[in-house]
Structure 1
Amino acid sequence: MVATLFAGGPLRFDVLMPGELVAFVVAGAAALVVAAVLARSLRWATGTGLAAIVAFFVLTGVSADLTGLASGDTPAEGWPRALVVGAYTLYVLAVIADTVVGVLLCRRLFAPGSGRA
Structure 2
Amino acid sequence: MDGAAVFAAIAPVFIAQYNGISLTFGDVIIISFTAILSSIGSAAVPGAGFAVLLLVLKSIGLPDQGISFLVAVDWLMDRFRTMVNVASDCLVVGVVSHYTKLPPRDTSETQSEPLRQEQEMLESDLV
Q: Is the shorter-chain TM-score for this pair beyond 0.5, marking a shared fold? A: no
RCO comparison, higher one (Cα < 8 Å, 6+): 2
TM-score (norm: length of structure 2): 0.30
